[in-house]
Amino acid sequence: KQEVTQIPAALSVPEGENLVLNCSFTDSAIYNLQWFRQDPGKGLTSLLLIQSSQREQTSGRLNASLDKSSGRSTLYIAASQPGDSATYLCAVKNSGGSNYKLTFGKGTLLTVNP
Amino acid sequence: EAGVAQSPRYKIIEKRQSVAFWCNPISGHATLYWYQQILGQGPKLLIQFQNNGVVDDSQLPKDRFSAERLKGVDSTLKIQPAKLEDSAVYLCASSLDLSADTQYFGPGTRLTVL
């Protein structure tokens, strides 16, 4: 059974700092890994998706890396802004026959202080 | 393109009462998912539909939860009778098909059971 762990559970940083969020998973036979953002009272928004054959993906100030063999991924946020404050969720997709299931971590609650 | 719609957004009920949630996925999306997100946890898949058929309901508490997607479009999730531990946000998501990389999430329904 796939298990996803995210560290830290919460993080508070001053505006402008670079930061790293960590995600680990127990079953390395994944199809892809995705980072989501969740704002209070809203659904999940996909930020970056890394296929199992890829090492990293970048979008603006965000960079996500994947080391499938060690079961780890990191989300790097450069020059953080107060608008980045949200919960960040890591999710891995495993193939279960014809059914592709997403398993989520508990998330990291990020607060960026002005 | 319209996103995933859910209603109601909030619901407060007493234990042992029943409640129903509604989801309208993105037009043309064959796969629909219901997730339960308890405070401080990541979303947990309850049930997954492909058109009007159930693909995975292994984590659905079938003694009290039921879901249907009769015409392969809209879906309803019902809880009867509700327990205190059912307090959570219920998220609906949809994707083009089972193997699609991206799931699109609705805003969720926040259920409080008193």
SS3 string, B8-58, reads CCEEEECCCCCEEEEEECCCCCCEEEEEEECCCCCCEEEEEEECCEEEECC
Q: Which residues of A touch B110 (CB under 8 A)?
A: 41
- Taking the Cβ of residue A53 and every Cβ of chain B, the question of whether any pair is shorter than 8 Å is answered with no
Q: Which residues of B touch A57 (CB under 8 A)?
A: none
β-bridge partners, B17: none
β-bridge partners, B91: B35
- Identify whether the C-beta of residue A103 lies closer than 8 Å to the C-beta of residue A13: no
Q: pLDDT band at residue B70, thresholds of 50, 70 and 90?
A: confident
| pLDDT at residue B47, rounded to an integer | 95
Residues 6+ apart with CB under 8 A from B112: B10, B11, B12, B13, B87
Q: Is the pLDDT of residue B36 over 70?
A: yes
Of the candidates A34, A43, A49, the beta carbon closest to that of B91 is on A43
In a 13 Å sphere around the CA of A79, the CA atoms on its Cβ side amount to 2
Q: Is the pLDDT of residue A98 over 60?
A: no
Query: What would the pLDDT profile of A17-53 be if each residue is shown by its tens digit?
Result: 999 999 999 998 898 999 999 998 788 999 999 999 9
β-bridge partners, A61: none
Query: What would the pLDDT profile of B78-101 be if each residue is shown by its tens digit?
Result: 999 999 999 999 999 999 988 888
